[in-house]
Amino acid sequence: MEMQKDFFSNLENRLGLLSDDARKGLLFLCLIEGKMEFIDLSELLQAPEAIDELTNLSFTHADPQSIEVESDTNKALLQRYKWSEKVSASRSLIVYFQNKFLGKEKLGDLWLLAGNKENAKSEFLSALNQYKVEQLHSLVIRVGEKVSNLGMLSQTEEIEVYQNMVSSYECCGELAQVIVIREKLLENLTIKKDVHQYASVLRALAIDYSQQGSWHLYKQLRTKAANIFRKNKDFKESAVEFMALAIKAVDDLNLSKGLEYCEEALVDSQMAGQVEHTCKSMAIKSYILAMEGNYSSGQTLAQEALQLALRNNLLETAAFVYRKLAGTFEYASDFEGAKSVFDEAIGFCETEKMGAQTQMCYSCLSWILLRLGEWKKALEVCTSLIRDPSISNPSKSTAYCVMAIIKSSRGEIRSAEKHALKGIFLAQKEQFMLMYHLLHLPMAKIYELKENPERAREWYCRIIDEWPQTGEKHDVLLSLMDAAMFFREQEDAVSLNKCLKIISFICKETGNTEALGCMAYGLGLDALLKGEHLIAIARLTEAKVYLEPLKIPYQVILIGYHLVICYLSLDEIEKGQQTLLTIHSKAKKMGLSPMVTKLSKLVKKSALQKQSIKDTLTSRQLDVLQLLSSGLSNKEIAERLFLSPRTVDMHIRFIFEKFYCHTRTEAVKIGSEKGLIELI
């Protein structure tokens, strides 16, 4: 504070020492707020000595042609002059520079200081248009604020100024200010009277709020805009609003509301004769039908929409419909079919040179590649999407989710966690509820890898506890299978039961093949937890029958892993080892390090079990068992082995006792299953 007082005191002293002409010249320099040519200052003052005084001041800078006051000192100096002095100096500058080049904005400032608001407004509007043409966005904003603060704009002028300011704020990335100005536009009387313009501003404001993450305001404003457009019989625009609301309802997993909006959009697009909007509305509806389990109806409707779009040469619309058609196959768990449609869609988009549409197709395809086990390609696609600045946040959150699931399944903790957290951030920001909930899976797997079962349990429990909020009936199945395995390993029968209830509901609602397979898998794990190994094998085998044809290798590996556990528990070593050999190879090929580790432990266990059983039978007893498999009688075996029939009978009774069986046929079967003999 003392330094500031000294600064102002020094200014007062310096001003007091200046001649009247020099003092006046200094005011001119302060009002110009920049460099002033010596020739102009000389003509204004008609006092060369005064200019010499100004050049000797510590807070002025001069070169051979011009002089200026330090910007930091400028405002402080202006405060030292009387109002009447500033008004008089402003008028002198206006008169002098009227026929010379001086920026329009500066002239506006001088007219305003001189008390002529009308002239100030005129100069400011001219400056604004000049800055707009030159794309000087910060200056457009500055002049826009100045001219709007005058309070003298007509309603039409106000609209133009605000629209220019909105464009400039958008270019500067100042979303909060864009919203402020758009809200002011809604108060403009001319816009209020023009129903179409008013609803258009509502739509733009809704989109602004969505970028800010205020989705409740987004839905509220788009609903209001839709109703205004419809009331004004502008059905083309109302259809656009209802489609946007339907898409948001899908993201929110509010499918019944989504269908309502689709029906409204279909009605209005047909009223407007808009084939494009009709196709898109049909496509969105088809996707929702598939999500609800009406796969056939969804696919049929999507095919109709695609044919309609192609017949009318609506290329962008056709690309949109292709994605929804692929989605109907995905929700039917026909992943090969979905991939085929996406491949066709990508080829179509590339042929028609629709780069943005191609990238959106790749975004959706990444999830299909994950499910089909084509993980190398999935990672390549996701990496490309994440690096593309034009890709939307929902698409990026999908890419992050796919990468996090793959990385966590492969045991790559740091990379998985990084991608999962980025995906969660974007999904929350965009309120992309489906992806937000799907990201619970990699987070749970990450904590498993960190050997933190309590935190892993929290995330797995969130999968089942938060499911009622969405009621999603397909993509959650992947998460539920991993959750069921975790709860079985943790001997948590209660949580495993919760998984089964959700899967059971999905089965009843959709009849989906994957859901039926997941149900059989869950029941198999439940039986395994209870020690009912034969029932577990039956259920897991049933799950394999359902899921193997879908070509989703990760889930098939999970089934195989638990089948091996069952076989080894029953000492069916040969079956266990055969299954192990198959799934160990698949897991290794997919890079599933944590699963490979589990399977390697089972390989060692099976070898030890086989050796243990062999150790309980002597070499002679093994010979007897092998000859039993050939159907020989005790007498024939005795002759072959040079033993007495009584000794052979004793060996057979010992084999029955060790195998807990009562017949020769049972003994041969068990010996074969345990890999002790070869059937001829």
Q: Tell me which of 416 and 599 has the higher pLDDT.
A: 416
User: Per the domain annotation, does 69 fall within a domain?
Assistant: yes
528 and 494 in one domain? Answer: yes
pLDDT reading at 673 higher than 80: no
623 and 597 in one domain? Answer: no
Tokens of 623: 């010979």
CA distances from 81 to 42, 75, 84, 108, 475 (A): 21, 10, 8, 20, 73
593 and 467 in one domain? Answer: yes
Question: Would you state the pLDDT for residue 96?
Answer: 76
pLDDT reading at 307 higher than 80: yes
pLDDT reading at 58 higher than 50: yes
Tokens of 351: 């042929």
User: Per the domain annotation, does 152 fall within a domain?
Assistant: no
Question: Would you state the pLDDT for residue 1?
Answer: 46
498 and 412 in one domain? Answer: no
Domain that holds residue 575: 452-602
pLDDT reading at 459 higher than 90: yes
pLDDT reading at 367 higher than 90: yes
**Mean per-residue pLDDT of the chain:** 89
Lowest average pLDDT, out of 80-89, 341-350, 503-512, goes to 80-89
Question: Would you state the pLDDT for residue 4?
Answer: 47
CA gap 294, 287 in Å, rounded: 9
User: Per the domain annotation, does 260 fall within a domain?
Assistant: yes
Q: In the beta sheet, which residues pair with residue 36?
A: 67
Nearest to residue 90, comparing CAs of 110, 68, 118?
A: 110
552 and 481 in one domain? Answer: yes
Tokens of 374: 């084509």
pLDDT reading at 517 higher than 80: yes
Distance between the two ends of the chain, CA-based, in angstroms? 105
596 and 460 in one domain? Answer: yes
| Burial of 470 (C-beta count, 10 Å sphere; 0-12/13-18/19+) | middle
Question: Would you state the pLDDT for residue 605?
Answer: 62
- Distant-in-sequence, close-in-space partners of 667: CB < 8 Å, separation ≥ 6: 625, 628, 652, 655, 656, 659, 661
User: Per the domain annotation, does 594 fall within a domain?
Assistant: yes
User: Per the domain annotation, does 139 fall within a domain?
Assistant: no
Lowest average pLDDT, out of 29-43, 180-194, 210-224, 334-348, goes to 29-43
Lowest average pLDDT, out of 223-227, 240-244, 383-387, 622-626, goes to 622-626
User: How much is the average pLDDT of 628-636?
Assistant: 89
Lowest average pLDDT, out of 42-56, 219-233, 243-257, 528-542, goes to 42-56
pLDDT, tens digit (0-9, with 9 covering 90-100), for 278-304:
999 999 999 999 998 899 999 999 999
Q: Tell me which of 430 and 220 has the higher pLDDT.
A: 220
pLDDT reading at 6 higher than 70: no
Domain final position from 399, 416, 449: 449
Question: Would you state the pLDDT for residue 300?
Answer: 96
473 and 497 in one domain? Answer: yes
Question: Would you state the pLDDT for residue 316?
Answer: 94
Question: Would you state the pLDDT for residue 59?
Answer: 84
Question: Would you state the pLDDT for residue 612?
Answer: 54
pLDDT reading at 148 higher than 80: yes
Give me the CATH number covering residue 654. Answer: 1.10.10.10
Q: Tell me which of 670 and 158 has the higher pLDDT.
A: 158
pLDDT reading at 244 higher than 60: yes
590 and 469 in one domain? Answer: yes
Considering the entire predicted model, what is its pTM?
Answer: 0.71
Question: Would you state the pLDDT for residue 615?
Answer: 52
Tokens of 645: 């029939």
User: How much is the average pLDDT of 84-94?
Assistant: 83
Q: State the total domains in the chain.
A: 5
Question: Would you state the pLDDT for residue 258?
Answer: 95
User: How much is the average pLDDT of 632-651?
Assistant: 89
CA gap 421, 559 in Å, rounded: 29
Domain final position from 102, 137, 166: 102
Tokens of 159: 């609209």
Question: Would you state the pLDDT for residue 100?
Answer: 63
CA distances from 262 to 257, 277, 295, 302, 360 (A): 9, 10, 17, 13, 22
pLDDT reading at 7 higher than 60: no
CA atoms within 13 A on the CB side of 137: 11
